Structure 1
Amino acid sequence: MGKLRAFYIELENQQGVFFPGQIINGRLVIELDAEMKMREISLTFKGLAHVYWYYTQQNSSGHYQTSTYSASEKYFEHSQPLFGEGMGMSDDNRLPPGQHAYPFSFQLPPNLPSTFEGEVGYVRYTIKGTIYKPWKFDYTTKRPFTVNALLDLNTQPNSACWTRNQQSKFLCCLCCKSGPITGMLKLDRVGYVPGEAITFNAEIQNMTSSVCGVHVKLYMTTVFHATTKSKTTTSEIARVVHQDIQPGETETWSGDSLVIPPLPPSFLVGCKIIDINYFFELIVEPPWPATSLCVPLLIIIGTTPLRTVVQQYQAQYGISTPQQPALPAPGPAPSAPPVEGASLMSDLPTPSYSEWLFGKTNIREEEDSEHTTGEMDYTPAYTYYDWSKLSQIQ
């Protein structure tokens, strides 16, 4: 890199996880081997959503035509000069060799949607540092961060209500020779937070002449909205497999559970071009070529748990006296927004903020050049409750 030995953004909150409205504190660090001429050093804070995909189809003349669909939302874009012209200096400045650290502070706007990296779209938040050099290429460094929007399950209708679904089907071409497959799935509530276990009850009746496989799975559906078209993708999150159901048998599946990993909250509130929903589904699989019987239930994944659930855990661990605030902000607490209802749920374990299971996404964008450095492969981190830690609150 020549004169530039190091160029990076360091956050006071090393996890890089924030709430809407929270203040981001950090510093831009530059290390030089020799003096460098420059016009200005600045930071750009940006939050946006973007969806994009291509669709190829055959037209009436037999030719294949590819269409592009896209849409964008900008939540904020703010530039902050740190040195040089933007600070009232000239446009010809020199930075001596050594390490230089420029502190910064930026308050996120309220009502931002959660960070999300999807198959054909994203909600993304970044800080970009730039050294503007006269008559030469600019140096840039990029630091993504995660925004976790709050979704209080206590404000969501039906979150505490039980839910049930039952479906039946006949196997293809066998409707006159055998009975149907019937599946029933029941949950004691609709609302959960990551770290909780979904405990379920299921009943499967196999009145066919075939052995059927059975499993339940948690999956996410994402709808990306472009200007004239929408696209839906489905991603499996986790599954639990049950033993096969023999012909003529009825099986009851009771008391099993599936723990919810770190995930963005349902709906992606605040974003108009991406929708997220979660489903818990019972699947009965007859032999090929018959299609599976699917029994889905819509669930809500939030960031603040139901009060009734917290009370159940408190009773389990013998806790009755408030000891600590619920859902503290990741990182330094003074700049965190208040959490509605926190005084009623003050015995929660401190949630961690863990990377989600779909792994890293390359966040290099068209505006990034070959000289852009920083964290280009990024994994968002989301709220996760370790309920076993309630036993440590005394």
Structure 2
Amino acid sequence: MGKLNIFAISLNNPQGVYYPGQVLEGHVTVELNGEMKMRASGQGGDNPSLPAGRYTYPFRYQLPAGLPSSFEGSVGRIRYCLSGIIDKPWKFDHTTKRAFTVVNLLDLNTELGAMEGARGENEKTLCCLCCKSGPISCRFQIDRCGYVPGESIPIKAEIINHSNRRMTRSYAELYMVVKYHATRKSRTNFQKIGEISHGEILPGDSDSWNGDLLRIPPVPPSKLQGCRIIEIEYFVKLCVNPSGPAFQLEVPLRLIIGSIPLRSTLQQYGFAPPPQGPDPSQLYEGGAQASAQYSMPPPSYAESVFGTVDIKDDADTKYTKGDMNYAPVYTYYNWEQTAQASAPPQ
């Protein structure tokens, strides 16, 4: 065991979630089991050192306004980290890291089209050698386009199979489209984040989706506002898979996934909506106390549906301490459980 027992960064906010413009506070803990030489202001002498013992160094930092939400993608990322360094003369420095999450709140009440429904339809004629059968058709609709993670999308659709082939299944797929923009080129990545399905549809039969619920997992808000090189969009798509060699039938609809729910959604679950104002995010920054004032659920958070990533980079060495497994967290609402917990006893 070396001289350095503990070298860690702790945040006053145990969830490690912040909004742009908030104050980030915490402390760095250093515990030594022996004297360690290091460079530091205020220690004096040609060879400053720190005796064995436990030391705590507080810090306070104002986050800039307009920061984009944390995001870990396959091609690019937006990651926020704190670093502590012990500057050792003529030796490798000791470093510790602590990642944290920034959530740039997207208020659905300010997004055009969030309250509006959407619908689409498509049909496909299947061919087998020289034979052509009747078409398969699909009508698909959602009651609104704006949702927050934790909500479920009621899927409504009608599928008619006029072909002479069996449809193996139909399914509703929720997926994220991420566009990465470089100076001269762009790249688009598609990632499925949820799915529910129905069974087979025989020739001449039909199938109806009557509000089957597709839950939205913890994901970053649409647009990724504040970032100019990464864009995020969400879609829900109804697909029909024919048996045999043929492309599936697809009907996609665009979604807006936000951080602050629609007022009409809050009312639907029996909560008083936040007041009209220029900056509704202030209510959420106030936490449970501010939310209780308006009889609405405080924001909760859940780990990203994509899980943890290794935040170790090229600058890190064997002397780097801290948890290198990190997953951003996002606002998440379990409406059913929240409404039940808030209901008065009978």
Give TM-score, length-normalised by structure 1: 0.80
Cα gap change, 1:139 to 1:320, in 2 (>3 Å)? closer
Report how far residue 309 of structure 1 moved: 1.4
Which of these residues, 197, 203, 209, is aligned with residue 241 of structure 1?
197
Report how far residue 210 of structure 1 moved: 1.2
Task: For 1:196 and 1:240, locate their aligned partners in 2 and report how far apart those are by CA, in whole Å.
Answer: 15
Q: Which residue of structure 1 aligns with residue 62 of structure 2?
A: 107
Which of these residues, 242, 255, 272, is aligned with residue 286 of structure 1?
242
Which has the larger displacement, 292-301 or 252-261?
252-261
Task: For 2:207 and 2:312, locate their aligned partners in 1 and report how far apart those are by CA, in whole Å.
Answer: 50
State the number of aligned residues: 336
Q: Which residue of structure 2 aligns with residue 232 of structure 1?
A: 188
Which of these residues, 258, 263, 266, is aligned with residue 307 of structure 1?
263
For structure 1, the 5+ residue unaligned runs are 40-83
Q: Which residue of structure 1 aligns with residue 307 of structure 2?
A: 359
Q: Which residue of structure 2 aligns with residue 18 of structure 1?
A: 18
Q: Contact conserved, 1:146 with 1:381, CA < 8 A, in 2? A: yes
Is residue 2:344 matched to residue 1:389?
no
Report how far residue 176 of structure 1 moved: 4.9
Q: Which residue of structure 2 aligns with residue 135 of structure 1?
A: 90
Q: Which residue of structure 1 aligns with residue 120 of structure 2?
A: 165
Cα RMSD for the two superposed structures: 2.5
Same amino acid, percent of matched pairs: 48
Cα gap change, 1:194 to 1:330, in 2 (>3 Å)? farther
Which of these residues, 303, 319, 325, is aligned with residue 371 of structure 1?
319
Q: Contact conserved, 2:178 with 2:233, CA < 8 A, in 1? A: yes
Q: Contact conserved, 1:326 with 1:350, CA < 8 A, in 2? A: no
Give TM-score, length-normalised by structure 2: 0.90
Q: Which residue of structure 2 aligns with residue 69 of structure 1?
A: none
Secondary structure in 2 matching 1:261: coil
Secondary structure in 2 matching 1:289: coil
Q: Contact conserved, 1:9 with 1:29, CA < 8 A, in 2? A: yes
Q: Contact conserved, 2:267 with 2:273, CA < 8 A, in 1? A: no
Task: For 2:105 and 2:44, locate their aligned partners in 1 and report how far apart those are by CA, in whole Å.
Answer: 42
Matched ranges for 1:187-202 at <5 A = 187-202=142-157
Which has the larger displacement, 22-31 or 248-257?
248-257
Structure 1: which 4+ aligned runs deviate by more than 6 Å? 330-333
Matched ranges for 1:199-210 at <5 A = 199-210=154-165
Report how far residue 267 of structure 1 moved: 0.9
Task: For 1:304 and 1:91, locate their aligned partners in 2 and report how far apart those are by CA, in whole Å.
Answer: 56
Task: For 1:11 and 1:293, locate their aligned partners in 2 and report how far apart those are by CA, in whole Å.
Answer: 50
For structure 2, the 5+ residue unaligned runs are 275-280
Task: For 2:125 and 2:273, locate their aligned partners in 1 and report how far apart those are by CA, in whole Å.
Answer: 55
Q: Which residue of structure 2 aligns with residue 218 of structure 1?
A: 174
Is residue 2:228 matched to residue 1:296?
no
Q: Contact conserved, 1:140 with 1:372, CA < 8 A, in 2? A: yes
Report how far residue 242 of structure 1 moved: 0.6
Report how far residue 92 of structure 1 moved: 3.9
Cα gap change, 1:326 to 1:270, in 2 (>3 Å)? closer
The one-letter code of the counterpart of 1:291 is F
Task: For 2:120 and 2:178, locate their aligned partners in 1 and report how far apart those are by CA, in whole Å.
Answer: 22
Report how far residue 374 of structure 1 moved: 0.9
Report how far residue 330 of structure 1 moved: 8.6
